[in-house]
Structures are given as C-alpha cells and as structure tokens.
Amino acid sequence: AKEAGRSNYLFFVPEMNVRVFERLVLESALRRAIERDELTLHYQPQVSVADGRLVGCEALVRWQHPDMGQVLPGQFIPVAEDSGLIVPLGEWVLRQACRQQVTWAGAGLGWLVVAVNISALQFRRADFTQQVVAILRETGAAPQRIELEITESALMQPTDALHERLLELGRLGLKLALDDFGTGYSSLSYLKRLPISRLKIDRSFIMDLPGDHEDAAVASATLSLARDLGLDVVAEGVEHAEQLAWLHARGCDSVQGFLFSRPLPVAEFETWAARHAAA
C-alpha cells in the first residue's frame, strides 16, 4: 500500500516526477564523470587585504559533461551528497589539489596555500583521517600548504570523536578553516575549543555590505570575535571596492571574490599568480 501511495504521488505531481528523473540521470552521469575524469579543478585566488598580494586559493570542482556542457557545483554537489558519491568525488578533489600543490611547489609557488572543500559526509566518515594521510603520502604534498574547509554546519555540536579528528588533522600540519561561517546558527562558545585557524565569512553576509545593517552586524561581530580568539578571517564573495574597504577597516585578513578574480583553470591561475605573487 505504501508503494502504491508513493507511485500515485509521483504520478499526480508531474513536476516532481521530472525532478526525480533528472536527479537519477544526473546521479548516473556523475558516477561516470568521476570514473572518466570529466571533472577538473578551478582555483580562485585569495589575497591579503593589507597589500593585495596572492596568499592562497580555493579549489572548486568543475564538471564539463560531453552533452550537457558545464554543470555547476550548485546542481551536482547536492546530488553527490544525497547519493554518497561525494565520498569518491571528495577524495578525487583532495588528491588532485594535493598533486597541484606539489606541481606548484616545483614551479616556485611552494608558499601558496591550497584550500579544499570537505563535505560533512566525507568528514564524518570514520576513515577520513586515514584517507587524508594516504593522499598526503601518495602525492608528497606539504600538509602546511593544504587547508581543509569544513562547513560550520558539519561542526555543529561536534562529538568528542570529531573533535579528536580535528586535533589529529592539525597535528599532521594541515590548516583547518570553518567554511560558510555565520550560516549555521551555532553557539559561539564552542568556537574557542575547536582547533581551527581560520573563519570564512559566507558570501551571503558580504554581498550587501556595507549598506545592509544586519549583515554588517554579523560580519563585524565575526571579525571582532576572530580577533579575540586569535583566528584569521577570510571573506568570500567580495565583488566591490566598497566591500573591500569596509573589511579592511575592520581588520579582515584576506579576501576572495570576483573583485580580484573568478575561479580560474590552472594555466590562467598561474598567469594571474605571476602578476600578483610576492616578489
């Protein structure tokens, strides 16, 4: 009876039906994409607010499908998370980013920090640390130049085991950043106990600066909290000079956004880096 109810529901809601179908198509296409190496990483520069110099970059996955063309992460990351494909996908991303770090180190860009997005599902798997250790060993990447971006929501009410996992990753030398900060409604008191070195203010709080009073309050509170806790702050989604000036005045360490550059394919990123690197 339950089965029947389900198919009736799908039958009478054609829009939903299409969406379920699209998801299934997307899921099997994504499975193939991981196997066939259709994914690539683009890198978005992160620059120091004090002097505008390049300090790091965020690796962002891109999918070029032979027929569908460019599929955006906003479309396929949620599908990857629901289907569990995020685990092999995330492993691929981390390995690729680590290889890139090694290549760059050989090309005189060894100081560049490469930030990698880690999904909650990936981070919460019991074998996550082992996976990271294996990839570091296999690629020879410098852990001090790899930053794991873990979302605030993934670390809400962290268990002792997850807390210990963060400590372990920190002991390996990896940098740890709290991504999408401000979106998780988490209590701030847990922050001081987390072994992280950076907060990433979510783009939704940066977008309407400096005009929007609520967003300004959140961004401003985050910056002063970070200062008190001795954490670095990076603001994402900076598009305008006014936003940069506002963040500069409040002690934000670094920024990432279209004002400086979109995420770039490797070759273009290297050209960009050559123009903005430390002398």
| Distance from C-alpha of 260 to C-alpha of 54, rounded to nearest angstrom | 10
β-partners of residue 64 are: 70
Rounded to 5 degrees, what angle do the CA atoms 247, 224, 160 make? 120
Is the Cβ of residue 17 or residue 276 nearer to ligand C2E in the bound state?
276
CA atoms in the 13 A half-sphere facing the CB of 100: 26
Nearer to ligand C2E, 109 or 116 (CB): 116
Q: Does 117 bind Ca ion (CB under 5 A)?
A: yes
Cβ closer to Ca ion: 117 or 122?
Answer: 117
Q: How far apart are CA 183 and CA 10, in angstroms?
A: 33
Residue 87 CB, nearest approach to ligand C2E (Å): 10
Euclidean distance between the first and the last CA atom of the chain, given in angstroms as a whole number = 71
> What string marks each residue from 199 to 218 as x (binds ligand C2E by CB under 6 A) or -?
----x---------------
- Dist. CA 13–CA 10, nearest whole Å: 5
The length of the chain is 279
- Beta strands 39-48 and 254-256 are antiparallel
Read off φ and ψ for residue 124, nearest 5 degrees.
-80, -5
Regarding 149 and contact with Ca ion (CB under 5 A), the answer is: yes
Instruction: Print the binding letters for residues 184-223 with Ca ion: x by CB under 5 A, - otherwise.
Output: ------------------x---------------------
Residue 74 binds to ligand C2E (criterion: CB under 6 A):
yes
112 forms part of the interface with ligand C2E (CB under 6 A): no
Neighbours of 183 (CB within 10 A): 16
| Residue among 96, 119, 139, 222 that touches ligand C2E (CB under 6 A) | 119
* 147 closest CA partner among 220, 52, 237, 254: 254
Work out whether 73 is an interface residue with ligand C2E (CB under 6 A): yes
Least Å from the CB of residue 218 to ligand C2E? 16
- Under rule CB under 6 A, which residues in 249-278 are in contact with ligand C2E? 256-258, 263
CA proximity to 190, closest of 223, 216, 152, 219: 152
Q: Judged by CB under 6 A, does residue 184 bind ligand C2E?
A: no
CB under 5 A: which stretch of 61-69, 75-83, 177-185, 191-199 binds Ca ion? 177-185
Token reading at 240: 């305008």
Which is closer to ligand C2E, CB of 119 or CB of 222?
Answer: 119
**Residue numbers of the site for ligand C2E (CB under 6 A)?**
44, 60-61, 72-74, 77, 90, 93, 117, 119, 179-180, 203, 236-239, 256-258, 263
